Amino acid sequence: MHLRPRLPASVRAVRHLVADLGMGLLALVMFSAVTFAAALAPAGVGLAVMPALASWTRRLASRQRRRVAAFLGTPAAERYQPIEGALPLRVRAVLSDPATYRDFVWLLVHGVAGTAAGYLALALPLFAVNALTVPLWWRAVPGTSLLGYPVDSWPSALSGIAVGLGYALLALVVPVPLARLSARLSGLLLRPPRQARLAVVNAARAAALEAHEQELKRIERDLHDETQNRLVGVLMNLGMLERSLAEAPEHTRRLAERAHEAASDALTHLRRVVRTIHPPVLTERGLDGAIAALAASSPVPCAVAVDDVPRLPAAVETAAYFAVAEALTNLAKHSGAGSAHVRLRTEGAVLVVEVEDDGRGGAQVRPGGGLAGIDRRVAAFSGRTMLTSPPGGPTVVRVEVPCGL
Protein backbone atom coordinates (compact mmCIF):
# COMPACT_ATOMS: atom_id res chain seq x y z
CA MET A 1 0.00 0.00 0.00
CA HIS A 2 1.37 3.40 -0.99
CA LEU A 3 0.78 5.48 2.07
CA ARG A 4 3.00 8.41 1.26
CA PRO A 5 1.06 9.83 -1.73
CA ARG A 6 -2.14 9.50 0.27
CA LEU A 7 -0.95 11.80 2.96
CA PRO A 8 -1.61 15.20 1.25
CA ALA A 9 -5.04 14.04 0.08
CA SER A 10 -5.83 12.88 3.61
CA VAL A 11 -4.68 16.14 5.12
CA ARG A 12 -6.84 18.07 2.65
CA ALA A 13 -9.82 15.81 3.41
CA VAL A 14 -9.34 16.16 7.17
CA ARG A 15 -9.20 19.92 6.81
CA HIS A 16 -12.41 19.87 4.81
CA LEU A 17 -14.11 17.62 7.37
CA VAL A 18 -13.01 19.75 10.31
CA ALA A 19 -14.51 22.78 8.58
CA ASP A 20 -17.59 20.61 7.96
CA LEU A 21 -17.72 20.04 11.70
CA GLY A 22 -17.80 23.80 12.31
CA MET A 23 -20.42 24.30 9.60
CA GLY A 24 -22.39 21.38 11.02
CA LEU A 25 -22.52 22.89 14.50
CA LEU A 26 -23.63 26.24 13.03
CA ALA A 27 -26.21 24.39 10.94
CA LEU A 28 -27.58 22.73 14.05
CA VAL A 29 -27.87 26.09 15.80
CA MET A 30 -29.63 27.57 12.77
CA PHE A 31 -31.90 24.54 12.50
CA SER A 32 -32.98 24.97 16.12
CA ALA A 33 -33.52 28.69 15.63
CA VAL A 34 -35.63 28.17 12.51
CA THR A 35 -37.66 25.40 14.15
CA PHE A 36 -38.23 27.61 17.17
CA ALA A 37 -39.29 30.54 14.97
CA ALA A 38 -41.60 28.27 12.98
CA ALA A 39 -43.22 27.11 16.21
CA LEU A 40 -43.79 30.78 17.09
CA ALA A 41 -45.07 31.59 13.63
CA PRO A 42 -48.75 31.68 14.60
CA ALA A 43 -47.86 34.38 17.13
CA GLY A 44 -46.44 36.57 14.36
CA VAL A 45 -43.05 37.04 16.02
CA GLY A 46 -41.75 33.87 14.42
CA LEU A 47 -42.73 35.09 10.96
CA ALA A 48 -41.10 38.45 11.53
CA VAL A 49 -37.69 36.93 12.24
CA MET A 50 -37.89 34.53 9.29
CA PRO A 51 -36.27 36.89 6.74
CA ALA A 52 -33.29 37.47 9.00
CA LEU A 53 -32.94 33.74 9.73
CA ALA A 54 -33.30 32.95 6.04
CA SER A 55 -30.57 35.35 5.01
CA TRP A 56 -28.22 33.88 7.64
CA THR A 57 -29.07 30.42 6.41
CA ARG A 58 -28.40 31.52 2.86
CA ARG A 59 -24.99 32.85 3.85
CA LEU A 60 -24.19 29.57 5.53
CA ALA A 61 -25.48 27.56 2.54
CA SER A 62 -23.61 29.79 0.06
CA ARG A 63 -20.42 29.28 1.98
CA GLN A 64 -20.96 25.54 1.94
CA ARG A 65 -21.70 25.62 -1.82
CA ARG A 66 -18.42 27.38 -2.49
CA ARG A 67 -16.53 24.96 -0.24
CA VAL A 68 -18.10 21.95 -1.94
CA ALA A 69 -17.43 23.39 -5.39
CA ALA A 70 -13.81 24.06 -4.48
CA PHE A 71 -13.36 20.62 -2.96
CA LEU A 72 -14.99 18.67 -5.80
CA GLY A 73 -13.84 21.01 -8.55
CA THR A 74 -17.39 21.53 -9.82
CA PRO A 75 -19.17 24.82 -10.58
CA ALA A 76 -21.28 26.33 -7.79
CA ALA A 77 -24.78 27.21 -8.99
CA GLU A 78 -27.05 29.22 -6.77
CA ARG A 79 -30.48 30.74 -7.27
CA TYR A 80 -32.48 32.64 -4.66
CA GLN A 81 -35.38 35.00 -4.82
CA PRO A 82 -34.11 38.32 -3.48
CA ILE A 83 -35.30 39.26 0.01
CA GLU A 84 -36.29 42.90 -0.46
CA GLY A 85 -38.88 45.49 0.38
CA ALA A 86 -41.14 45.90 3.38
CA LEU A 87 -41.31 43.15 6.02
CA PRO A 88 -44.42 41.39 4.64
CA LEU A 89 -42.81 41.28 1.20
CA ARG A 90 -39.60 39.88 2.67
CA VAL A 91 -41.54 37.24 4.59
CA ARG A 92 -43.43 36.27 1.46
CA ALA A 93 -40.22 36.11 -0.59
CA VAL A 94 -38.68 33.77 1.96
CA LEU A 95 -41.70 31.52 2.32
CA SER A 96 -42.41 31.30 -1.42
CA ASP A 97 -38.82 30.44 -2.39
CA PRO A 98 -38.40 26.67 -2.74
CA ALA A 99 -34.74 27.19 -1.95
CA THR A 100 -35.72 28.12 1.64
CA TYR A 101 -37.06 24.63 2.26
CA ARG A 102 -34.14 22.94 0.54
CA ASP A 103 -31.76 24.94 2.72
CA PHE A 104 -33.76 23.94 5.80
CA VAL A 105 -33.41 20.24 4.96
CA TRP A 106 -29.71 20.76 4.43
CA LEU A 107 -29.37 22.43 7.85
CA LEU A 108 -30.66 19.27 9.52
CA VAL A 109 -28.85 16.72 7.37
CA HIS A 110 -25.53 18.50 7.47
CA GLY A 111 -26.01 19.39 11.14
CA VAL A 112 -26.08 15.69 11.90
CA ALA A 113 -24.00 14.05 9.17
CA GLY A 114 -21.44 16.83 8.76
CA THR A 115 -20.88 17.09 12.49
CA ALA A 116 -20.50 13.35 12.82
CA ALA A 117 -18.11 13.10 9.89
CA GLY A 118 -16.03 15.99 11.17
CA TYR A 119 -15.94 14.45 14.63
CA LEU A 120 -14.75 11.13 13.18
CA ALA A 121 -12.03 12.82 11.14
CA LEU A 122 -10.75 14.60 14.24
CA ALA A 123 -11.16 11.66 16.59
CA LEU A 124 -9.40 8.93 14.59
CA PRO A 125 -5.91 10.50 14.79
CA LEU A 126 -6.48 11.27 18.48
CA PHE A 127 -7.52 7.64 19.12
CA ALA A 128 -4.38 6.52 17.29
CA VAL A 129 -2.12 8.74 19.41
CA ASN A 130 -3.93 7.62 22.56
CA ALA A 131 -3.60 3.89 21.81
CA LEU A 132 0.01 4.13 20.61
CA THR A 133 1.11 5.87 23.79
CA VAL A 134 -0.74 3.58 26.24
CA PRO A 135 2.43 1.55 27.00
CA LEU A 136 4.06 4.78 28.24
CA TRP A 137 1.52 5.75 30.84
CA TRP A 138 -0.88 2.81 31.60
CA ARG A 139 0.80 2.22 34.92
CA ALA A 140 -0.44 5.61 36.14
CA VAL A 141 -4.05 4.41 35.83
CA PRO A 142 -3.87 0.58 36.07
CA GLY A 143 -6.93 -1.49 35.34
CA THR A 144 -8.75 1.30 33.49
CA SER A 145 -10.56 0.57 30.21
CA LEU A 146 -8.13 2.55 28.06
CA LEU A 147 -8.47 0.64 24.78
CA GLY A 148 -12.08 -0.44 25.02
CA TYR A 149 -10.88 -3.20 27.28
CA PRO A 150 -9.12 -3.04 30.67
CA VAL A 151 -5.35 -2.51 30.50
CA ASP A 152 -3.86 -4.32 33.49
CA SER A 153 -0.70 -5.99 32.18
CA TRP A 154 2.25 -5.28 29.85
CA PRO A 155 0.90 -7.57 27.09
CA SER A 156 -2.46 -5.79 27.15
CA ALA A 157 -0.67 -2.40 27.22
CA LEU A 158 1.60 -3.35 24.28
CA SER A 159 -1.45 -4.47 22.32
CA GLY A 160 -2.23 -0.74 22.29
CA ILE A 161 0.47 -0.31 19.61
CA ALA A 162 -1.42 -2.65 17.28
CA VAL A 163 -4.72 -0.91 18.05
CA GLY A 164 -3.06 2.48 17.51
CA LEU A 165 -1.63 1.45 14.15
CA GLY A 166 -5.10 0.30 13.19
CA TYR A 167 -6.55 3.69 14.12
CA ALA A 168 -3.71 5.45 12.30
CA LEU A 169 -4.45 3.48 9.16
CA LEU A 170 -8.15 4.34 9.45
CA ALA A 171 -7.26 8.02 10.08
CA LEU A 172 -5.30 7.98 6.84
CA VAL A 173 -7.75 6.06 4.67
CA VAL A 174 -11.21 7.08 5.88
CA PRO A 175 -11.21 10.92 5.55
CA VAL A 176 -10.83 11.04 1.74
CA PRO A 177 -13.99 9.09 0.83
CA LEU A 178 -15.78 10.52 3.85
CA ALA A 179 -15.05 14.12 2.83
CA ARG A 180 -16.11 13.36 -0.72
CA LEU A 181 -19.33 11.78 0.51
CA SER A 182 -20.08 14.73 2.75
CA ALA A 183 -19.34 17.22 -0.06
CA ARG A 184 -21.54 15.29 -2.52
CA LEU A 185 -24.38 15.12 0.00
CA SER A 186 -24.22 18.89 0.61
CA GLY A 187 -23.85 19.53 -3.12
CA LEU A 188 -26.92 17.46 -3.88
CA LEU A 189 -29.06 19.10 -1.21
CA LEU A 190 -27.94 22.64 -2.02
CA ARG A 191 -28.22 22.29 -5.79
CA PRO A 192 -30.84 24.57 -7.34
CA PRO A 193 -33.74 22.64 -8.95
CA ARG A 194 -33.27 21.52 -12.56
CA GLN A 195 -35.27 24.40 -14.02
CA ALA A 196 -33.15 26.95 -12.22
CA ARG A 197 -29.96 25.10 -13.14
CA LEU A 198 -30.94 25.20 -16.80
CA ALA A 199 -31.63 28.90 -16.52
CA VAL A 200 -28.14 29.37 -15.11
CA VAL A 201 -26.62 27.29 -17.90
CA ASN A 202 -28.62 29.21 -20.52
CA ALA A 203 -27.58 32.52 -19.06
CA ALA A 204 -23.95 31.41 -19.11
CA ARG A 205 -24.41 30.26 -22.70
CA ALA A 206 -25.96 33.54 -23.78
CA ALA A 207 -23.15 35.43 -22.08
CA ALA A 208 -20.55 33.26 -23.79
CA LEU A 209 -22.20 33.76 -27.19
CA GLU A 210 -22.39 37.49 -26.58
CA ALA A 211 -18.71 37.61 -25.67
CA HIS A 212 -17.95 35.51 -28.73
CA GLU A 213 -19.92 37.93 -30.89
CA GLN A 214 -18.02 40.94 -29.61
CA GLU A 215 -14.82 39.03 -30.24
CA LEU A 216 -15.79 38.09 -33.81
CA LYS A 217 -16.77 41.65 -34.63
CA ARG A 218 -13.58 42.99 -33.12
CA ILE A 219 -11.47 40.55 -35.12
CA GLU A 220 -13.34 41.36 -38.31
CA ARG A 221 -12.98 45.09 -37.72
CA ASP A 222 -9.32 44.79 -36.85
CA LEU A 223 -8.60 42.74 -39.94
CA HIS A 224 -10.56 44.95 -42.31
CA ASP A 225 -9.79 48.36 -40.91
CA GLU A 226 -6.33 47.88 -39.50
CA THR A 227 -4.51 44.98 -41.09
CA GLN A 228 -6.01 45.51 -44.52
CA ASN A 229 -5.39 49.23 -44.51
CA ARG A 230 -1.75 48.63 -43.59
CA LEU A 231 -1.41 46.22 -46.49
CA VAL A 232 -3.19 48.63 -48.83
CA GLY A 233 -0.71 51.26 -47.69
CA VAL A 234 2.13 48.91 -48.62
CA LEU A 235 0.52 48.31 -52.01
CA MET A 236 0.07 52.00 -52.59
CA ASN A 237 3.71 52.72 -51.85
CA LEU A 238 4.78 49.83 -54.05
CA GLY A 239 2.56 51.26 -56.78
CA MET A 240 4.20 54.65 -56.53
CA LEU A 241 7.59 52.96 -56.45
CA GLU A 242 6.74 51.10 -59.64
CA ARG A 243 5.74 54.38 -61.30
CA SER A 244 9.06 55.96 -60.41
CA LEU A 245 10.95 52.87 -61.59
CA ALA A 246 9.76 53.29 -65.17
CA GLU A 247 13.33 54.03 -66.26
CA ALA A 248 14.94 51.40 -64.05
CA PRO A 249 16.46 48.15 -65.34
CA GLU A 250 14.03 45.36 -66.22
CA HIS A 251 15.29 43.25 -63.29
CA THR A 252 14.52 45.95 -60.71
CA ARG A 253 11.08 46.57 -62.11
CA ARG A 254 10.27 42.88 -62.02
CA LEU A 255 11.25 42.70 -58.35
CA ALA A 256 8.91 45.57 -57.50
CA GLU A 257 6.18 43.91 -59.51
CA ARG A 258 6.66 40.65 -57.65
CA ALA A 259 6.45 42.41 -54.29
CA HIS A 260 3.27 44.05 -55.52
CA GLU A 261 1.73 40.72 -56.49
CA ALA A 262 2.66 39.13 -53.16
CA ALA A 263 1.04 41.96 -51.18
CA SER A 264 -1.98 41.80 -53.44
CA ASP A 265 -2.33 38.04 -52.88
CA ALA A 266 -2.04 38.55 -49.13
CA LEU A 267 -4.94 40.99 -49.27
CA THR A 268 -7.12 38.67 -51.33
CA HIS A 269 -6.40 35.83 -48.92
CA LEU A 270 -7.11 38.04 -45.91
CA ARG A 271 -10.45 39.08 -47.41
CA ARG A 272 -11.45 35.45 -47.85
CA VAL A 273 -10.51 34.59 -44.27
CA VAL A 274 -12.48 37.51 -42.87
CA ARG A 275 -15.50 36.41 -44.87
CA THR A 276 -15.52 32.96 -43.28
CA ILE A 277 -15.12 34.42 -39.78
CA HIS A 278 -18.02 36.83 -40.00
CA PRO A 279 -19.40 37.98 -43.34
CA PRO A 280 -19.55 41.81 -43.33
CA VAL A 281 -22.98 41.68 -44.97
CA LEU A 282 -24.36 40.31 -41.67
CA THR A 283 -23.20 43.39 -39.78
CA GLU A 284 -24.58 45.69 -42.44
CA ARG A 285 -27.92 44.12 -43.22
CA GLY A 286 -28.69 41.71 -40.40
CA LEU A 287 -29.50 38.04 -40.86
CA ASP A 288 -32.70 38.56 -42.88
CA GLY A 289 -31.03 41.08 -45.16
CA ALA A 290 -28.02 38.83 -45.67
CA ILE A 291 -30.24 35.82 -46.42
CA ALA A 292 -32.30 37.93 -48.83
CA ALA A 293 -29.06 38.89 -50.59
CA LEU A 294 -28.10 35.20 -50.80
CA ALA A 295 -31.51 34.33 -52.22
CA ALA A 296 -31.38 37.19 -54.69
CA SER A 297 -28.14 35.90 -56.12
CA SER A 298 -29.13 32.23 -56.08
CA PRO A 299 -29.13 30.68 -59.56
CA VAL A 300 -32.37 28.88 -58.63
CA PRO A 301 -35.19 31.39 -58.00
CA CYS A 302 -35.61 31.50 -54.26
CA ALA A 303 -38.27 32.94 -51.95
CA VAL A 304 -37.41 33.94 -48.38
CA ALA A 305 -39.78 33.96 -45.40
CA VAL A 306 -38.43 35.33 -42.13
CA ASP A 307 -40.82 35.12 -39.17
CA ASP A 308 -39.91 37.86 -36.75
CA VAL A 309 -36.43 36.59 -35.96
CA PRO A 310 -34.77 38.89 -33.42
CA ARG A 311 -31.11 39.90 -33.61
CA LEU A 312 -29.20 36.75 -32.59
CA PRO A 313 -25.67 36.18 -31.36
CA ALA A 314 -23.25 36.78 -34.24
CA ALA A 315 -21.89 33.25 -34.09
CA VAL A 316 -25.39 31.83 -34.50
CA GLU A 317 -26.19 34.23 -37.35
CA THR A 318 -22.93 33.32 -39.06
CA ALA A 319 -23.71 29.61 -38.74
CA ALA A 320 -27.23 30.13 -40.14
CA TYR A 321 -25.91 32.32 -42.96
CA PHE A 322 -23.36 29.74 -44.07
CA ALA A 323 -25.91 26.95 -43.73
CA VAL A 324 -28.24 28.75 -46.15
CA ALA A 325 -25.40 29.70 -48.49
CA GLU A 326 -24.16 26.11 -48.58
CA ALA A 327 -27.65 24.65 -48.99
CA LEU A 328 -28.43 27.01 -51.88
CA THR A 329 -25.13 26.28 -53.61
CA ASN A 330 -25.74 22.59 -53.11
CA LEU A 331 -29.25 22.54 -54.50
CA ALA A 332 -28.22 24.66 -57.47
CA LYS A 333 -25.53 22.12 -58.28
CA HIS A 334 -27.34 18.85 -57.68
CA SER A 335 -31.11 19.10 -57.29
CA GLY A 336 -32.23 20.26 -60.72
CA ALA A 337 -34.83 22.33 -58.86
CA GLY A 338 -36.87 25.06 -60.52
CA SER A 339 -37.51 26.98 -57.31
CA ALA A 340 -36.51 27.04 -53.67
CA HIS A 341 -37.81 28.38 -50.37
CA VAL A 342 -35.83 29.54 -47.37
CA ARG A 343 -37.69 29.82 -44.08
CA LEU A 344 -36.30 31.30 -40.87
CA ARG A 345 -38.04 31.33 -37.52
CA THR A 346 -37.36 30.87 -33.83
CA GLU A 347 -39.03 28.08 -31.91
CA GLY A 348 -38.47 28.92 -28.26
CA ALA A 349 -34.76 29.46 -27.91
CA VAL A 350 -33.91 27.60 -31.11
CA LEU A 351 -33.32 29.18 -34.49
CA VAL A 352 -34.84 26.98 -37.20
CA VAL A 353 -33.67 27.37 -40.79
CA GLU A 354 -35.32 25.38 -43.56
CA VAL A 355 -34.24 25.29 -47.16
CA GLU A 356 -36.66 23.47 -49.43
CA ASP A 357 -36.44 22.80 -53.15
CA ASP A 358 -38.69 21.13 -55.73
CA GLY A 359 -35.87 19.14 -57.30
CA ARG A 360 -35.47 15.44 -57.89
CA GLY A 361 -34.76 14.48 -54.26
CA GLY A 362 -32.65 11.54 -53.16
CA ALA A 363 -30.02 13.81 -51.65
CA GLN A 364 -27.59 12.26 -49.18
CA VAL A 365 -25.11 13.53 -46.65
CA ARG A 366 -21.68 12.62 -47.99
CA PRO A 367 -18.58 12.98 -45.82
CA GLY A 368 -16.77 16.12 -46.89
CA GLY A 369 -19.83 17.31 -48.82
CA GLY A 370 -21.66 20.60 -48.34
CA LEU A 371 -24.30 19.19 -45.99
CA ALA A 372 -21.66 17.58 -43.79
CA GLY A 373 -19.98 21.00 -43.67
CA ILE A 374 -23.22 22.62 -42.48
CA ASP A 375 -23.61 19.94 -39.83
CA ARG A 376 -20.07 20.41 -38.57
CA ARG A 377 -20.54 24.17 -38.25
CA VAL A 378 -23.87 24.04 -36.42
CA ALA A 379 -22.79 21.12 -34.22
CA ALA A 380 -20.24 23.50 -32.71
CA PHE A 381 -23.22 25.39 -31.24
CA SER A 382 -25.03 22.20 -30.13
CA GLY A 383 -27.21 22.53 -33.21
CA ARG A 384 -28.27 19.78 -35.57
CA THR A 385 -29.00 19.27 -39.23
CA MET A 386 -31.75 17.11 -40.69
CA LEU A 387 -32.12 16.12 -44.30
CA THR A 388 -35.39 14.87 -45.78
CA SER A 389 -35.08 13.95 -49.41
CA PRO A 390 -37.35 11.22 -50.74
CA PRO A 391 -36.78 10.19 -54.38
CA GLY A 392 -38.76 12.62 -56.52
CA GLY A 393 -38.41 15.33 -53.87
CA PRO A 394 -39.05 17.68 -52.28
CA THR A 395 -35.75 18.02 -50.44
CA VAL A 396 -35.77 19.84 -47.12
CA VAL A 397 -32.62 20.75 -45.20
CA ARG A 398 -33.58 21.69 -41.67
CA VAL A 399 -31.01 23.29 -39.39
CA GLU A 400 -31.64 23.95 -35.71
CA VAL A 401 -29.28 26.13 -33.70
CA PRO A 402 -29.90 26.93 -30.02
CA CYS A 403 -29.46 30.66 -29.75
CA GLY A 404 -29.14 31.05 -25.98
CA LEU A 405 -31.99 33.56 -25.66
Which residues in this chain contact other proteins in the complex, by CB under 8 A? 221, 224-225, 228-233, 235-240, 242-243, 260, 263-264, 267-268, 271, 274-275, 280-281, 283-284, 293, 296-301, 338
Report the residue number, 152 or 242, with the smaller CB distance to other proteins: 242
Q: Distances from the Cα of 324 to the Cαs of 63, 209, 287, 317, 355, in angstroms?
A: 49, 21, 11, 11, 7
Query: What's the burial of 341, exposed, middle or buried (CB within 10 Å: 0-12/13-18/19+)?
Result: middle
Determine phi and psi for 340, rounding to 5 degrees: -140, 155
**Adjacency order of strands within the sheet including 350-357:** 302-307, 340-347, 350-357, 395-402, 384-388
Shortest approach of other proteins to residue 252 CB, angstroms?
17
CB of 321 to other proteins, least distance (A): 13
Shortest approach of other proteins to residue 210 CB, angstroms?
19
Nearer to other proteins, 6 or 334 (CB): 334
User: In sequence order, what are the beta bridge partners of 395?
Assistant: 357
Residue 313 · residue 348 · CB < 8 Å: no
Identify whether the C-beta of residue 157 lies closer than 8 Å to the C-beta of residue 57.
no
Tell me whether residue 120 or residue 256 sits nearer to other proteins (CB atom).
256
Q: Which is nearer to other proteins, 214 or 229 (CB)?
A: 229
Give the nearest distance from C-beta 235 to other proteins in angstroms: 3
Given the complex with other proteins, which of 71 and 322 has the nearer CB atom?
A: 322
- Strand 302-307 and strand 340-347: the pairing is parallel
Helices 314-334 and 280-296, interaxial angle, to 10°?
30
**Which segments of 73-114 does DSSP mark as H helices, in order?**
87-96, 98-109
Residue 339 C-beta: closest distance to other proteins, Å: 9
Nearer to other proteins, 183 or 328 (CB): 328
Sign of CA dihedral 137, 139, 145, 148: positive
State which residue, 162 or 240, has the beta carbon closest to other proteins.
Answer: 240
Smallest gap from residue 248 Cβ to other proteins (A): 15
Helix, strand, coil % in the chain, rounded to nearest 5: 70, 10, 20
Note if the bond before 394 is cis, omega within 30 degrees: yes
Specify which residues 342 forms β-bridges with. Answer: 304, 355
CB of 264 to other proteins, least distance (A): 6
The nearer residue to other proteins, 63 or 271, going by C-beta atoms, is 271
> CB 214 → other proteins: shortest distance, Å?
14
